[in-house]
Structure formats: C-alpha cells, structure tokens
Amino acid sequence: MRILVLLVREAGRLVPRSAIYSRAWDDPGRATERGLNTCIRQIRRALGDDARHPHYVEAVPRRGYRFVAALADASEPVVAGPLRTARVERRGWVIAGGLSAVLLAIVGTIVVGGWPESGRARVAHLRPEARDDYLVARSLLRAERLDAYRRAIPLLERVTRFDSTFAPAHAHLATARFFAGDLSGADAAAQTALRLDPANPEALVARAHVLGLRDWDWPAARRALDRALALAPRERMVLHTKAFFLALEGSPEAIRWMLRARDTDPTSAAVNGDLGLLYFWAGLPEAALAQYRRALAIEEEPWLLDCAFDAAVHAGRTDDAARYARALLSRRAAPADTSGGVIDAYRILRVTATQALIAGGDTTGYCRLALYLADVGRGEEALDALERALARPSLELPTLAIDPRMESLRDRPRYRAAIRRLGLDPTRGPRASRAG
C-alpha cells in the first residue's frame, strides 16, 4: 500500500527503485527486487492493469516506476465499491486532496480479505496527514502481528481526533486494540463505530469478541457475530471468528468454518495457523502438525513454532518436537539447561519465563501460566493460576475450556467451577469434539 501511495503522490514522475526501497520499506536493507516486483504485480491485479499496455503503473526498465493515469480534483465524496479480490471493475477514478480515489477503493483489495468500507467512504476528505495515517494503519492491520497492531493504534487514534465521525477508523481501532489485548479500549471504539454506522461488520466482530472474551456473555456475542455474518458473509474475519466461537462450544463445525476462512485468504499465516489450532483443540494433533507446517512455510513466526511443538508432543513425534524446541530455545538470549532433554527444557522454560513476566507486572500471563503448569503436571499450581486469571480476562482465557493440555484437570471440581464462570461447558474437551 505504501508503494501505491508513493507512486500516486509522484504521479507523472519516475520514482526510482532506490527511492521506493527507502520510502516504502520500514527496513530498506531488507527490500529486494523480487519483493518490489511482487508488490507491483498485486497493484496491477487490483487495478486490472496490463504491464504491456499500462493505464496506471508504467515500468521503466532497470530504473523504476511511474503512475501514468490522469488525475483530477474531486468535489464529491467517493463511494467505495464492494471488495474485489481480483480486480477493480470500475474506471474513471479521480484525485482528491492528492491521493487517488482508486487508491481509496483499493485499500481493502490489494490484500485479499480486507474489510470493506461501509456507507459513503469519506477518506478522500480527511486531512492529508490523517489520510496517510489511516492508510498506513490499514496496511499494518493486514500484517496480523502484535507489533503491527500496536503501531496502528496511535495512527488510528489520531485519525479519530481529526474526524470523530469517521466510523471505519473507529472500527479499525477496535480491531487493533482487541488484538493488542486492550479489551475495554476495543469495546469503546467498537461501540463508537456502531453508533455512527450500525451496519459496520468489523465493529460488530470486535463487539462480539469483547462480549464473549471479556464479559463472557456468549448469547450476546453470538447475536453480534450473526449480525456481522449477515452483513459480510464472505468476509474472512467474520468466518474466522465464527469458527473460533464454534470451537469454544466444542462443535465439530468449527473446522469447516475455518476452512472457509482460509479459502478467502490461503496465504495468511494467521488463518493457516489458527486452522492448526482448531485441529489441536479437536484432539487431532497429527492434522494440527501438518497444518502448522503449511503455516510455517508461509511465515516462520515464534508462535507457530510453539504451536507446532505442542502438536508434535501430543502426536508422539519426539524428533519433530525436539527440532521445534531447539529452534525456539535458540531464539532466547540466555542458554537453557537441556541436560534433561531439549523437550522438557523448553516446557520448563515456558513456565519460568511466564512467571518472570507476571512478576514484572504482566498479570494477563496467568492464563498462559495455567496452561504451561498443567502441561508439566503441576496441576494444583495450574488451578491456582487459572483462578487468578479469572480476575483478568484475556484473549486466551476461554480456550482453557478446550485445550488438550488441560486434559488432566478436566474432572477436578476447581477446574469445572472456573470454566462454568466463563459461561462455557467444562465437559467440552477434545474427547467431546472427536465424538461430535
């Protein structure tokens, strides 16, 4: 997206490759010719442009690129069309305030599965600095990484200060805050977006997440999600969330819904990884491990290595588990004691590292600590951590109702009482999912 913004701002002028690397990449040293060529192909596909007879982006061999479409001022708000993942079907886009309206309509189409704008898109009439913040924030949200969500938050907060009535910015802010772990902030932004636009599916999904994962009001969460599904039945995040909620209910339909979400965005490491997680929760570690391998082939993220490690352990594939454990341990600054075996060393390290985070003030870590303690057989300590986690709602907390690593605690009264407080069925574990 930054590349298209740059080319439009320099419309009619050649932009050298070196300038694109320095201005469109966070780390220009990691920019590659292949990466730039891929981005240009994505832009052309979204515009329906032809490299041989370009109407928008012209290549100057061995030098750079030029945006060649004629641009004019826009006096009316731009109406963004529905998402199109292959091409933009309409032509005659105009410039408004220095950015092309084609850019505004493409914001959700360069990357498959972006959120559509609801109502009349007023992006073109934002102040230039707010418009740039908004477009960069949308690009960050598509990265689906914690650091990207955190970087998007101040950008979107600035946009909402410039125009407090711009519902899409509030909806994106709700998404960013939610995935950054700020459930109350996400709820405030989602409710603001819905007051401005009751039919905003992204805000409805964020509201559903908060109602379920913070308030444990699952009927209300399902109503918000069903409303989002009616408005955007093919939107990836709606399908993704539906799959997650079904998994928490122990429904075997969860995997089918996540497969539908993956079909909308097959190259997303997050969706592929979460599909593996659903297989794991369903008591299918072999299928989970195979899916994690697919996700790791897209992007080797530490959380995916960690998930693959657990799947390998539960599948009895000790060689694979040891390989993933070594890869994870190698990322630690301090060497771990592996005298008892690399698999046990990593499992113990997860416990001590999480305890250190909690001691440093990260009280949301109690949920993970409960999971890791149960995994190493320290059941009573795991239950203590689970009960502490109930006072600090987090994204992961309801998943303890279905995670196989909690299996040894499933018949204990303290565990059952804790899961019932979450509004979930403590008997819905991997065995129940398989039986369904």
Structure tokens that stand for 400 in this block = 């303890």
pLDDT tens for residues 317-357?
A: 999 999 999 999 998 876 777 888 999 999 999 999 999 99
**Worst-scoring range by mean pLDDT, 53-62, 182-191, 355-364, 416-425?**
53-62
Asked if residue 238 lies in contact with residue 205, where contact means CB atoms within 8 angstroms, the answer is: yes
pLDDT at residue 318 in the model:
96
Compute the average pLDDT of residues 282-290.
96
The band of 425, judged by pLDDT with boundaries at 50, 70 and 90, is confident
Residue 431 has pLDDT above 80, yes or no: no
pLDDT at residue 122 in the model:
59
Query: How far is 255 from 433, CA to CA, in rounded Å?
Result: 11
pLDDT at residue 79 in the model:
31
Query: How far is 276 from 273, CA to CA, in rounded Å?
Result: 5
**Worst-scoring range by mean pLDDT, 146-150, 152-156, 163-167, 425-429?**
425-429
Asked if residue 228 lies in contact with residue 238, where contact means CB atoms within 8 angstroms, the answer is: yes
Residue 295 has pLDDT above 80, yes or no: yes
Asked if residue 395 lies in contact with residue 427, where contact means CB atoms within 8 angstroms, the answer is: no
pLDDT at residue 115 in the model:
55
Compute the average pLDDT of residues 256-271.
90
Query: How far is 418 from 398, CA to CA, in rounded Å?
Result: 10
Q: How confident is the prediction for the chain on average, in pLDDT?
A: 83
Residue 99 has pLDDT above 70, yes or no: no
Asked if residue 34 lies in contact with residue 140, where contact means CB atoms within 8 angstroms, the answer is: no
Compute the average pLDDT of residues 192-211.
96
Residue 269 has pLDDT above 60, yes or no: yes
pLDDT tens for residues 118-146?
A: 433 456 677 787 888 888 888 888 878 88
Residue 279 has pLDDT above 50, yes or no: yes
Query: How far is 200 from 331, CA to CA, in rounded Å?
Result: 41
pLDDT at residue 142 in the model:
80
pLDDT at residue 19 in the model:
87
pLDDT tens for residues 384-393?
A: 999 999 998 8
pLDDT at residue 238 in the model:
94
- More confident position, 189 or 15: 189
Residue 82 has pLDDT above 60, yes or no: no
pLDDT at residue 70 in the model:
58
Burial (CB count within 10 angstroms: exposed 0-12, middle 13-18, buried 19+), residue 335: exposed
pLDDT at residue 261 in the model:
93
- More confident position, 368 or 1: 368
The band of 74, judged by pLDDT with boundaries at 50, 70 and 90, is very low
Beta bridge partners of 339: none
The band of 429, judged by pLDDT with boundaries at 50, 70 and 90, is low
DSSP one-letter string for 141-193: HHH--HHHHHHHHHHHHHHHHH-TT-HHHHHHHHHHHHHTT-HHHHHHHHHHH
pLDDT at residue 426 in the model:
85
In three-state secondary structure terms, 139 is helix
Residue 27 has pLDDT above 50, yes or no: yes
The band of 432, judged by pLDDT with boundaries at 50, 70 and 90, is very low
Asked if residue 425 lies in contact with residue 416, where contact means CB atoms within 8 angstroms, the answer is: no
